[in-house]
Amino acid sequence: MLNETLDAHREGFLGSVSGIETDFWDEVVLSVRAEYLSDAQDYPWIIGFSGGKDSTVVAQAAFEALLQVAPSKRKRHVHFVSNDTQVESPLVMAHLAKVQTAIASMTESFRLPVTVVTTRPAPDKTFWTLLIGKGYPSPNQTMRWCTDRLKIQPTRRYILDNVSAHGAAIVVLGVRLDESDSRRNSINKFQNLAGSNLTPHSELPGAFIYRPIVHLTLDDVWEVLGRCQPPWGGTHRDLIQLYRDAEGGECPVVLSKDEAPGCGTSNSRFGCWTCTVVDKDKSLQGFVDSGNHHFSALIEFRVWLKGIRNDPRYRSVERRNGEIRFNARGEQIQHVPGPFTIQARKMILDRLLAAQTEYGEPLISHDEIQQIHAIWAEEISQPARQRGDVA
């Protein structure tokens, strides 16, 4: 059914200009250009740019479209927004930084109304401050506290700032119907506004979603990356190589809870290197297999962290607010353990610093270590009830 819908759409997509057969990529760029020039509004575009294949194709479509618009008509500002969880897969971050620099430099040369920006979690909400500072148990499918704090909130702040400044903002996403069943369901849940390509954002008032490549297939995406040069210079060869080395997949740009199911699943292999939600980090293993042997230190740390999660020796009896919690499962009442104990947190920090030495690059920042020590000091000096948050 999905394939029939896609085929029908693609048939209409090809050859739709005056009966002359046109290339599907030209059509995508033309439709993005038309959307950019829409006279209904000129709210800023916020392109969620993870550096992965789908968001690169969207960024390319927007950039090419912008170059085709006369300078006097470039009234809408375009933001290329990437999010750095600060525990991203290192090779993915290195690739992303390179492309961001190229986009920013080309933007300057052409005087395009573009801002390239990276959002990050608040200093007291990074992976390490929550896990090692406050003792949040390493995330799993039932307690995935990380996606919201590391990915959704930082980008959400940026979008809302733009909504406040301009009255509304349009979030441009590289999501596609054929990515997965959950993606298709989340896309189909909301209808476009009448006569427009925009859908109201499910959680952010004043924000709208625009999905320019929603009908492209995976093959289309690889075809574009394989045969079209990026308009900001260079080639897509590094990106293609990254996928080859990692054996495919990426943690998509996540902007709302509707989009979150893909994060930390087997479909999301370019996630945080610390991700304990997945059983195996296939991309890191792929990087090791393709010659990056120093990533073994990261893999070993992640496996160890996942392994100690449910060990009662490392978990407090009480939650951070002093509660003792139980779960009823049928006839059985089970104690729900609290956060990692302070001793366990110290052990995790020591082990992380040892992994950092072995890896040879920073894995935790000096600021995070200071935050962690401040949280420990507060916890030791204050009764649980005054600390408030539950973990």
Interface positions with ligand SF4 (CB under 6 A): 85, 139, 144, 146-147, 150-151, 251, 263-264, 271-272, 274-275, 277
CB 249, min distance to ligand SF4, A:
11
Pick between residue 29 and residue 277 the one whose CB is nearest to ligand SF4.
277
CB 212, min distance to ligand SF4, A:
25
Pick between residue 85 and residue 217 the one whose CB is nearest to ligand SF4.
85
CB 83 within 8 A of CB 154: yes
Task: List residues bridging with 340 in a β-sheet.
Answer: 315
Pick between residue 9 and residue 120 the one whose CB is nearest to ligand SF4.
120
Tell me whether residue 98 is exposed, middle or buried, using C-beta atoms within 10 angstroms of its C-beta: 0 to 12, 13 to 18, 19 or more: middle
CB 335, min distance to ligand SF4, A:
25
CB 306, min distance to ligand SF4, A:
11
CB 58, min distance to ligand SF4, A:
20
Pick between residue 146 and residue 172 the one whose CB is nearest to ligand SF4.
146
CB 256 within 8 A of CB 175: no
CB 278, min distance to ligand SF4, A:
7
CB 319, min distance to ligand SF4, A:
21
Pick between residue 61 and residue 251 the one whose CB is nearest to ligand SF4.
251
d(CA 174, CA 61): 10
Pick between residue 272 and residue 348 the one whose CB is nearest to ligand SF4.
272
CB 149, min distance to ligand SF4, A:
8
Pick between residue 231 and residue 252 the one whose CB is nearest to ligand SF4.
252
Pick between residue 60 and residue 86 the one whose CB is nearest to ligand SF4.
86
Pick between residue 271 and residue 338 the one whose CB is nearest to ligand SF4.
271
Pick between residue 74 and residue 302 the one whose CB is nearest to ligand SF4.
302
CB 171, min distance to ligand SF4, A:
19
- CB-side neighbour CA atoms (13 Å) of 235: 7
CB 279, min distance to ligand SF4, A:
12
Which three-class secondary structure string do you get for the chain? CHHHHHHHHHHHHCCCECCECCCHHHHHHHHHHHHHCCCCCCCCEEEECCCCHHHHHHHHHHHHHHHHCCHHHCCCCEEEEEECCCCECHHHHHHHHHHHHHHHHHHHHHCCCEEEEEECCCHHHCHHHHHHHCCCCCCCCCCCCHHHHHHHHHHHHHHHHHHHHHCCEEEECCCCCCCCHHHHHHHHCCCCCCCCCEEECCCCCCEEEECCCCCCCHHHHHHHHHHCCCCCCCCCHHHHHHHHHHCCCCCCCCCCHHHHHHCCCCCCCCCECCCCCCCCCHHHHHHHHCCCHHHHHHHHHHHHHHHHCCCHHHECCCCCCCCCEEEEECCEEEEECCCECHHHHHHHHHHHHHHHHHHCCCCCCHHHHHHHHHHHHHHHHCCHHHCCCCC
